[in-house]
Each structure stands twice: as structure tokens, then as C-alpha cells.
């Protein structure tokens, strides 16, 4: 697929861009240890380029003890030997750029590993030069933690250190202490690590847990979360973290100043971008609006609003409408899947028979929304969530809450490349770090390449369709009343081109009567879908989509 180099060389290339997430340890193993590596990513870059995406987001590959699969960094400026060396990264990035692909790396700066030299020094005493680089606090008089803050991974958000005789804060694992961003020296050090990769030529940063950088200086207790009487909004009853209203352990106002410092650094380099991960419960879209407003903080953010089980016209319209009403001059990056959630084909499909249809409809919908897009490796193959045995788990989150919650390993299994090879061509080792399920092997890239009706070919067609219609990059989105909440209809408009989309996300055939002003519309074939238009009535089958120029 041809690369639009003129658009990618523009400083606003990220607006409407399609970003493909690579989870390095599961992409391609080249050294036979059963774990993916950077050379494996380089080997598979032609596949990524063939999809028609604009950029690659690499999950962490930095030096790490791997307690949380690389999201516990011990050296921000080096490659973990598991994945290779810096020269491998440089070679991969050069080849990606040759193919017209931007490189975005995961910057995990809200916390470090407890093996990071900064924390190793900080915990030695209360008076060392880095004593205040992490969030330390005295115990209450009875020896308990300073407040009621919780860890997302279970238990209190505080851990006692016998040397300092204080608690340190950790939003995630005990081995992931939180940096103290109230200290200007910490901000300077973190920005230096960003500068290291900018100088190396990366095109942008995905900022992990971007609203977790600052905590309340007064360490006030979080109040309980008040949900609807029917429990609506409760994320999970397996983890008490969602029982708190997280007013004080994240999303603090001081974060705005740091994001402005970060943006100033980013803007001192040409054509770079940032995308922040915002996890803030019911306030996520409001936080996104604040963080992307004014063209002086983040370029764009994504939330978890479309990463849950809901796949209905009413829900998607509600989320997009709320976003458009809340985020007046910011930018969003939509996603249905990533490395932290159950794969969306499993979440959305009600039967095995409709999985392929759901996979195709999902990318068609994403490609039609206003915003940028994040795709997660394997979704272009229609992969489902893998069912793993407890003994196969590596995710500390899943191990902690098993069996009520099985963790994130099910969406992190290796990409299947070759249907007839052991481990589907991912590795030549006797054992892959996570097993490749038989149903994934059957969906391997080489098998789908031979099938013109496959999910893989549909992804290419859907992204090509997006590229030839400028309104789909950054045009306006205006909802159309369907008089039926089971249908999702909207117009995308820019520079005189107006496209109508009607999505039927239900399992029943639906009719949509075109408004009088649209009766003379010109239907546009949507790859993979064939909808009839009869006397001004759109006849949609189950899980179907119609498009027309109006």
C-alpha cells in the first residue's frame, strides 16, 4: 500500500493516524529463546507496513527485571538483553522509517522498578541525594499505612521499608515504587530520558498511566465510590480498587505544569507526537479534555471507554457524544483492544460463528470515527482471547486475582505467522513464553494471505478506504437520528465531501429510512459488506454497515 509521505512529514501527521501496537515479547523470536525480540520486529515490518498503518507503538523494551513484563523499568536509556541491544533498535527504526512507518515508544515514568538505581539510592536513608525522589511517608501512630490508597494489583498502595522506617507508595506492584513528581529534580531526570530517545530519532511517546504522575501532597484518604443503585459503573467486583473514588492518588492539578514542560521539549524537535493513557474512571473524558486542550500539553489521549464489554449503538454514541461535548479542542485516539484487556472479538462476539463478522465490523467502525486509531497486534487476524491454564500464567495481576480474574496473558500470546510450523512460526524454541492456542495457529498470517475474504485482507481494505476519504481523517462527525437506538448513524464531513455511515451492531436485520434530504444519496461500497438500498430504505443485515455520499 502506498505511503502518503507528504502527510507523514507534516507536523500534524498524528491527527487521524493509525497506530499499530507491538508487544515485543510476543511478536517474533529470532534467537530461539521463546521470547520475541527487536530483530523479530524488524523481520516482520513488511507485514505491518502492508496493513496501511502510519506508526508503530512499541510496548516497553527497556532494561527491566520483568516483574510486570517491562513496565517496571530499571534503565530508561537501554534495551533489555532479552530483546537485544541499542544497535538492534536503531536498525529496526531505520528500516521502519524506510518503509514510511513512524516509531512511538512506551514511556513508563509514573514509577520505576525497585531495582532502578534511583530507588536503590533513595531507600538507603532519609538524607541521601535522592531521598525525596520517590513518595515516602511516615506510618500512622499505630504503624499502619499513611492513608487508604490501594494498589491496582491488589492490597494497599503502600509498602514498609525497614531501613528508612517509612512507607513508600506504589500504584501497581510492590516492586514498582512511584516517583515523586513534586520534586523538580525528578521531572528534570525524567525529561532527560525522553530527550535521549528524541535524539535517537523516535517519532513519539505513548505515555503510560499519564494521570498518575502526581499525588496529593497532604495524602488525604480517597472517599468511597458511589455507584448507581443497580451497580452500574462498577468495573469489577474482584478488585477493591474500584470501590474508591480516586480523588487524591492520581489526576492532580500539578500534572498540567509537567505536561506543558514535556510538550515544550517535544516541540523542540520536528514532527513528534505524544499519546497519553488516561485511566480515571467516570472522569476519564474530562481528564482527556484537560490534557489535550490548548495545544500546549499532550497531542492526544485514549481512555478505556471503548475497551470494555459494551458494543452497542447507544453506548458508542453516548461515548463519542460525551467526548465531542467535553473535548472541544483536543484529540482522541480510539481503540477496542490493547495488551491490558480481553481481546475485543471475544468481548463483542456472542457466538463463535460471528467472530469474523465482528472483527470486520469493528475495524470498519474504528476507521469511520473522528480521531486517531490504536490497533493491537493480532486483531488484524481476528484473534480471540486465549484460554490459559493457571500454570501458564506470567501476569502478576492474573496470578493475584485467579480464578475470579484471569489476568492479561490471554491477550498477550504470540502472533501466529505460519500455520504449519510449531508455535505457528513464532519461535523455534521448544517452548514459547506463552503457548499459542490451536485456534490462533489456524488464523496464522500465511493462511489468511491466501484467503481474499479473511480478516487480514479486510483490515487492509478498511484502512485503504479510510485513506481515500479525507473526511475520515479529521472531518466533523455529526450524528443522525435513527429513531432506533439499535442503529448508529453519523455523517463525516470535510471540504465539501459528506459521507453517511449507518451501523447495525445488533443480531437482527434492521431497516433505516433515509431522511428526505438524503434520498438522492450515492451509495459507496464498503469492503466486506453489501447493503441493499430500496426506495430510500437501507436494508441492513445483522452486524452490517452502509455508506453513502450525501
Strands 62-63 and 487-494: unpaired
CB of 49 closer than 8 Å to CB of 404: no
Per annotation, catalytic residue among 72, 159, 277, 305: 277
Q: H or E segment at 191?
A: helix 184-200
Q: Is beta strand 102-107 parallel, antiparallel or unpaired with respect to 204-207?
A: parallel
- Report d(CA 466, CA 13) in Å as an integer: 15
Active-site residue (options: 29, 68, 80, 208) = 208
What does the alpha-carbon distance between residue 432 and residue 419 come to, in Å, rounded to a whole number?
16
Answer for the pair 400, 153: CB distance below 8 angstroms, yes or no: yes
Sheet with strand 487-494: strands edge to edge: 476-479, 487-494, 497-504, 544-549, 522-523
**Can you tell me which residue has the cell 473524558?**
285
208 as an active site residue: the answer is: yes
Residue among 133, 91, 462, 488 nearest 310 (CA): 488
Rounded to an integer, what distance in angstroms lies between the CA atom of residue 178 and that of residue 182? 12
Which three-class secondary structure state does DSSP give residue 520? coil
In terms of Cβ atoms closer than 10 Å to its own Cβ (0-12, 13-18, 19+), residue 515 is: middle
CA 505, 510, 512: angle at the middle one, nearest 5?
105
Contact between 71 and 176 under an 8 Å Cβ cutoff? The reply is yes
Cell matching residue 414? 504470540
CB 27 within 8 A of CB 176: no
Of the candidates 219, 175, 193, which has an alpha carbon nearest to the alpha carbon of residue 75?
Answer: 193
CA-CA distances (angstroms) from residue 376 to 18, 20, 58, 379, 382? 11, 6, 10, 6, 11
Element (H, E) at 419: none
Q: Which residue carries 438524503 as its cell? A: 518
Half-sphere exposure of 196 (CA within 13 A, CB side): 15
Scan for cell 511517546, then name that residue.
Answer: 205
Q: How far is it, in rounded angstroms, from Cα 18 to Cα 7?
A: 13
88 given a catalytic annotation: no
Partners of 167 in beta bridges: 137, 160
Catalytic residues: 208, 277
Amino acid at each position: 500500500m502506498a505511503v502518503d509521505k507528504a502527510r507523514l512529514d507534516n507536523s500534524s501527521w498524528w491527527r487521524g493516524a493509525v497506530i499499530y501496537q507491538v508487544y515485543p515479547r510476543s511478536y517474533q523470536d529470532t534467537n530461539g529463546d521463546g521470547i520475541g525480540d527487536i530483530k523479530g520486529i524488524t523481520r516482520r515490518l513488511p507485514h505491518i507496513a502492508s496493513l496501511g498503518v502510519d506508526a508503530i507503538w512499541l510496548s516497553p523494551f527497556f532494561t527491566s527485571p520483568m516483574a510486570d513484563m517491562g513496565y517496571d523499568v530499571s534503565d530508561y536509556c537501554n534495551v533489555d538483553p532479552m530483546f537485544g541491544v541499542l544497535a538492534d533498535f536503531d536498525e529496526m527504526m531505520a528500516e521502519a522509517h524506510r518503509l514510511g512507518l513512524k516509531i512511538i515508544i512506551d514511556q513508563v515514568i509514573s514509577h520505576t522498578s525497585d531495582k532502578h538505581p534511583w530507588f536503590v539510592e533513595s531507600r538507603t536513608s532519609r538524607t541521601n541525594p535522592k531521598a525525596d525522589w520517590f513518595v515516602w511517608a511516615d506510618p500512622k501512630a499505630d504503624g499502619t499505612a499513611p492513608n487508604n490508597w490501594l494498589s491496582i494489583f491488589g492490597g494497599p498502595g503502600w509498602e514498609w521499608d525497614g531501613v528508612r522506617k517509612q512507607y513508600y507508595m506504589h500504584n501497581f506492584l510492590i516492586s514498582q515504587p512511584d516517583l515523586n513528581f513534586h520534586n523538580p529534580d525528578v521531572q528534570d531526570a525524567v525529561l532527560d530520558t525522553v530527550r535521549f530517545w528524541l535524539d535517537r530519532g523516535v517519532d513519539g511517546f505513548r505515555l503510560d498511566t499519564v494521570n498518575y504522575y502526581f499525588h496529593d501532597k497532604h495524602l488525604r484518604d480517597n472517599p468511597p465510590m458511589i455507584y448507581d443503585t443497580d451497580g452500574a459503573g462498577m468495573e469489577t467486583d474482584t478488585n477493591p480498587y474500584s470501590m474508591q473514588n480516586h480523588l487524591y492518588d492520581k489526576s492532580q492539578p500539578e500534572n498540567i505544569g509537567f505536561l506543558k514542560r514535556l510538550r515544550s521539549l517535544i516541540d523542540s524537535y520536528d514532527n513528534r507526537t505524544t499519546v497519553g493513557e488516561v485511566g480515571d474512571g467516570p472522569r476519564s473524558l474530562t481528564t482527556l479534555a484537560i490534557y489535550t486542550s490548548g495545544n500546549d500539553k499532550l497531542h492526544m489521549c485514549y481512555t478505556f471507554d471503548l475497551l470494555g464489554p459494551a458494543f452497542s449503538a447507544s453506548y458508542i454514541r453516548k461515548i463519542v457524544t460525551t467526548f465531542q461535548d467535553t473535548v472541544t479542542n483536543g484529540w482522541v485516539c480510539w481503540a477496542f483492544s490493547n495488551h491490558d484487556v480481553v481481546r475485543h472479538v471475544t468481548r463483542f462476539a456472542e457466538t463463535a460463528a460471528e467472530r469474523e463478522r465482528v472483527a470486520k465490523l469493528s475495524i470498519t467502525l474504528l476507521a469511520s470515527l473522528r480521531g486517531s486509531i490504536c490497533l493491537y497486534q493480532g486483531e488484524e487476524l481476528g484473534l480471540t482471547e486465549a484460554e490459559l491454564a493457571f500454570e501458564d500464567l506470567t501476569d502478576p495481576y492474573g496470578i493475584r486475582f485467579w480464578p475470579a480474574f484471569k489476568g492479561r496473558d490471554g491477550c498477550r500470546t504470540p502472533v501466529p505467522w505460519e500455520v504449519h510450523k510449531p508455535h505457528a512460526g513464532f519461535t523455534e524454541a521448544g517452548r514459547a513464553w506463552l503457548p499459542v492456542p490451536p485456534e490462533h495457529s489456524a488464523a496464522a498470517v500465511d493462511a489468511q494471505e491466501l484467503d481474499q475474504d479473511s480478516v487480514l485482507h479486510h483490515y487492509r481494505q478498511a484502512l485503504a478506504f479510510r485513506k481515500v476519504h479525507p473526511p475520515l481523517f479529521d472531518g466533523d462527525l455529526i450524528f443522525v437520528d435513527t429513531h432506533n437506538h439499535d442503529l448508529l448513524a453519523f455523517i463525516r464531513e470535510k471540504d465539501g465531501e459528506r459521507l453517511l455511515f449507518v451501523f447495525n451492531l445488533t443480531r437482527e436485520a434492521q431497516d433505516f429510512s433515509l431522511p428526505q434530504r438524503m434520498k438522492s444519496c450515492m451509495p459507496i461500497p464498503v469492503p466486506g459488506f453489501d447493503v441493499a438500498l430500496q426506495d430510500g430504505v437501507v436494508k441492513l443485515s445483522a452486524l452490517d454497515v452502509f455508506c453513502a455520499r450525501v
